[in-house]
């Protein structure tokens, strides 16, 4: 489904009476050299292999979609070995040095033991992560004072396609969608409606709501940016990791020719392995290293109980590839449909950090995402299923005083929308200074983010709001340069109760902000002048309890992310139309008993 250099291994750390797995995202050891073939697979496939070995009944699922990362470039002999074991190769990749395909469950162990196989991962299903907002991020001020509009910057949108909407044209009526590529096999049209919405938030220019007959214009963040549609999601808003890998690979191949500076990924899947081996995370890391800003939605799994607005927060619910420390991961706020920041709150569904398995501090920042107005696609899945979200004519038009639905605009909610806001902000920053690196873009956005925007609420903790609410004028006016890497830090709680940070290189002119020795206390380095303010909440009762996210028994138990009420239900990733339907393997009693790991997987 959808979904580096050398490092070190951090051993299991005891928190209270429970063990917490901490994976640091620099190379730990080579999974291809592990004695146990299960250590070369993600947790899903390790369970599949275990079931296939112990029960002939489990092999009723004859083949599984997989992504294989190889130790060396694929050649004919390697392909022949894979096919002789019953595998079929679907797509080949250079960005992760590997391929996608299908493989009998009974042959997983055999393939994992091939000396050229580094890692086998599930080809998981990725899902879409579904006015006032512009004021909340300071856009009117930025446009007025800086004169930026995204001109000269191209943003590639990996989504469900982009419709031919008037708001995505230039002043002469020509489309600013300069390329459309389909990776679903269903054509380039946006039958879902999600991709067009995302494109509108990034680069809509408000053509259909501008003029003497209108009193409100619905425009995006960077209304003169060029867009590329890389369709990886179908009409239901679902796709596969392999399709996303192909799209990212295409974008990097066309990077120079198409002037691609930003990738927007408003989709994701619940992580089944460390970001150091997750194929989608490795692909976005490759894009980042090539100088492309990658913006990811955090996910919409922030409630412990999905349908309960008053449910306590669900920590550890960041989606892949937003769990990568390289990318900019964005959570969502709720503007309450006003331009006043003082009533804005976090959207209850916005996923919380830290990331599972790796404990990466996420999200990096937040942006408006609740009931955000963007472009509508008539006859799309979203519109036909809930036409009541379409904007009525009398909400913005003097020409038609009617509350009937307009065909042009629609209200959307989700971290998908928040990510699109930040992609637009990145485009504005790059237009102003084309020399900016992805690390400097990320660092400036985080450093200048509003640390407290609602006095009644005060600061949220950084696992909820990251560095704060994106502030475009402040980011445009900042001139700091990141000399190292703007990795999101990895957190763990030491036995003395202090919170420590790992990972992350040097920032801000070689002054170590995120270093191994950093402790997140009031007396440490996270002052108001840096990323986090002194008022950030790091209390024991908030996040650090044994029942939260830090132990193996929490991560992999039925009561954690793998329960029926979470990602594995029909209403979530594993729908009847998905890859793994009709399989008896995914029962609660079978899958998520603890899988013994004698070492930690790492990247090469």
What pLDDT, in 10s, does the model give residues 101-140?
Answer: 999 999 999 999 999 999 999 998 887 765 444 555 555 5
Question: What was the pLDDT predicted at 273?
Answer: 93
Range with lowest mean pLDDT among 289-293, 363-367, 568-572, 595-599: 595-599
Say which residues have a Cβ less than 8 Å from residue 244's Cβ, sequence separation at least 6.
2, 3, 126, 158, 183, 232, 265, 267, 280, 283
Q: In this structure, what DSSP letter does residue 70 have?
A: E
Question: What was the pLDDT predicted at 561?
Answer: 29
Q: Is the pLDDT of residue 578 over 50?
A: no
Catalytic choice (416, 423, 488, 551):
416
Region 85-94: mean pLDDT is 95
Instruction: Give 289-304 pLDDT, tens digit per residue.
Output: 999 999 999 999 988 7
Question: What was the pLDDT predicted at 584?
Answer: 24
Q: How confident is the model at residue 69 (pLDDT cuts 50, 70, 90)?
A: very high
380 compared with 162, residue with greater pLDDT: 162
Region 569-589: mean pLDDT is 25
598 compared with 89, residue with greater pLDDT: 89
Q: Is the pLDDT of residue 9 over 60?
A: no
Q: Is the pLDDT of residue 513 over 50?
A: no
Question: What was the pLDDT predicted at 487?
Answer: 87
Question: What was the pLDDT predicted at 498?
Answer: 61
Q: What is the DSSP string of 220-248?
A: -SSTT-EEEEEE---TTSEEEHHHHHHHH
Question: What was the pLDDT predicted at 485?
Answer: 83
Q: Is the pLDDT of residue 570 over 80?
A: no
Q: In this structure, what DSSP letter does residue 394 have?
A: G
Question: What was the pLDDT predicted at 135?
Answer: 53
Q: How confident is the model at residue 62 (pLDDT cuts 50, 70, 90)?
A: low
- Please, how many CA atoms are within 13 Å of residue 407, restricted to the half-sphere of its CB? 6
Length of the chain: 604
Q: Is the pLDDT of residue 190 over 90?
A: yes
Question: What was the pLDDT predicted at 168?
Answer: 95
Q: Is the pLDDT of residue 92 over 70?
A: yes
Question: How far apart, in whole angstroms, are the C-alpha atoms of residue 216 and residue 96?
Answer: 46
Q: Is the pLDDT of residue 553 over 60?
A: no
Kindly compute the dihedral angle of the four CA atoms of residues 71, 74, 76, 78, in this order, to the nearest 10 degrees: 30
Catalytic choice (43, 123, 167, 194):
194
Region 273-286: mean pLDDT is 96
Question: What was the pLDDT predicted at 140?
Answer: 57
Beta bridge mates, 175:
169
Q: How confident is the model at residue 586 (pLDDT cuts 50, 70, 90)?
A: very low
Q: How confident is the model at residue 500 (pLDDT cuts 50, 70, 90)?
A: low
Q: Is the pLDDT of residue 374 over 60?
A: yes
| CA 555 to each of CA 321, 551, 568, 588, 593: distance values in angstroms, whole numbers, following the listed order | 18, 6, 14, 14, 11
416 is an active site residue = yes
Q: Is the pLDDT of residue 375 over 90?
A: yes
Q: In this structure, what DSSP letter does residue 127 have?
A: E
Question: What was the pLDDT predicted at 525?
Answer: 28
Kindly compute the dihedral angle of the four CA atoms of residues 121, 126, 129, 130, in this order, to the nearest 10 degrees: -170
Q: Is the pLDDT of residue 148 over 60?
A: yes
Range with lowest mean pLDDT among 132-136, 162-166, 261-265, 450-454: 132-136
DSSP H or E run through 285: helix 279-289
91 is an active site residue = no
Q: How confident is the model at residue 451 (pLDDT cuts 50, 70, 90)?
A: confident
Question: What was the pLDDT predicted at 186?
Answer: 94
Region 475-486: mean pLDDT is 87
| CA 10 to each of CA 28, 79, 101, 503, 601: distance values in angstroms, whole numbers, following the listed order | 8, 35, 33, 11, 11
307 compared with 353, residue with greater pLDDT: 353
Give the pTM: 0.79
For residue 317, the Cα-to-chain-centroid distance in whole angstroms is 11
Catalytic choice (159, 190, 358, 439):
159
Q: How confident is the model at residue 98 (pLDDT cuts 50, 70, 90)?
A: very high
What mean pLDDT, rounded, does the chain reach? 76
Say which residues have a Cβ less than 8 Å from residue 383's Cβ, sequence separation at least 6.
193, 376, 377, 390, 410
Region 246-269: mean pLDDT is 97
């Amino acid at each position: 489904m959808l979904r580096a250099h050398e490092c070190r291994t951090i051993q299991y750390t005891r928190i209270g009476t429970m063990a917490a797995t901490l994976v640091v995202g620099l190379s730990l050891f080579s999974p291809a050299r592990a004695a146990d073939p299960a250590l070369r697979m993600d947790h899903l496939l390790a369970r599949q292999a275990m079931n296939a070995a112990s029960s002939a009944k489990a092999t009723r699922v004859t083949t599984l979609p997989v992504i294989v990362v190889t130790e060396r470039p694929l050649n004919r002999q390697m392909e022949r070995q894979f096919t002789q074991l019953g595998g079929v190769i679907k797509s080949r990749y250079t960005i992760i040095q590997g391929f996608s395909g299908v493989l009998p469950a009974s042959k997983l162990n055999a393939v994992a033991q091939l000396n050229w196989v580094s890692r086998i991962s599930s080809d998981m299903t990725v899902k879409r992560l579904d006015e006032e907002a512009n004021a909340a991020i300071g856009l009117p001020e930025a446009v007025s004072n800086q004169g930026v509009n995204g001109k000269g910057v191209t943003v590639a949108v990996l989504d469900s396609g982009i419709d031919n909407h008037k708001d995505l044209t230039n002043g002469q009526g020509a489309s600013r969608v300069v390329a459309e590529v389909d990776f679903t096999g269903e054509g380039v049209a946006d039958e879902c409606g999600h991709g067009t919405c995302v494109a509108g938030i990034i680069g809509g220019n408000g053509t259909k709501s501008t003029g003497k007959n209108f009193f409100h214009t619905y425009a995006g963040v960077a209304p003169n940016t060029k867009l590329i549609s890389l369709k990886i999601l179908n009409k239901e808003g679902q796709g596969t990791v392999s399709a996303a890998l192909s799209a990212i690979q295409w974008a990097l191949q066309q990077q120079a020719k198409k002037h691609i500076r930003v990738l927007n990924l408003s989709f994701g899947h619940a992580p089944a392995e460390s970001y150091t081996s997750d194929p989608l995370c490795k692909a976005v890391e490759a894009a980042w290293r090539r100088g492309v800003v990658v913006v990811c939605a955090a996910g919409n799994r922030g409630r412990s109980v999905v349908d309960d607005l008053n449910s306590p927060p669900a920590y550890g619910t960041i989606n892949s590839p937003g769990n990568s420390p390289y990318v900019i991961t964005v959570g969502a706020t709720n503007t309450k449909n006003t331009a006043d920041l003082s009533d804005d709150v976090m959207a209850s569904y916005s996923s919380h950090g830290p990331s599972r398995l790796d404990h990466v501090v996420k999200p990096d920042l937040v942006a408006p995402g609740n009931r955000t107005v963007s472009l509508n696609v008539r006859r799309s899945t979203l519109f036909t299923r809930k036409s009541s979200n379409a904007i009525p004519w009398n909400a913005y038009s003097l020409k038609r005083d009617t509350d009937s639905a307009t065909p042009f605009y629609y209200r959307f909610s989700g971290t998908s929308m928040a990510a699109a806001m930040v992609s637009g902000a990145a485009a504005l920053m790059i237009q102003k200074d084309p020399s900016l690196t992805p690390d400097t873009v990320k660092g400036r956005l985080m450093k200048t983010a509003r640390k407290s925007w609602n006095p009644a609420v005060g600061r949220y903790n950084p696992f909820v709001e990251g560095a704060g609410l994106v502030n475009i004028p402040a980011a445009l006016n900042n001139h700091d340069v990141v000399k190292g890497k703007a990795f999101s830090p990895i957190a763990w709680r030491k036995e003395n109760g202090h919170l420590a940070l790992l990972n992350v290189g040097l920032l801000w002119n070689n002054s170590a902000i995120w270093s191994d020795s950093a402790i997140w206390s009031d007396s440490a380095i996270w002052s108001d002048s840096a990323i986090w303010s002194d008022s950030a909440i790091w209390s024991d009762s908030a996040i650090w309890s044994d029942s939260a996210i830090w132990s193996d028994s929490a991560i992999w138990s039925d009561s954690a992310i793998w329960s029926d009420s979470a990602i594995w239900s029909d209403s979530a990733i594993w729908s009847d139309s998905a890859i793994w339907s009709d399989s008896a393997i995914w029962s609660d009693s079978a899958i998520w008993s603890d899988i013994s790991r004698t070492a930690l997987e790492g990247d090469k």
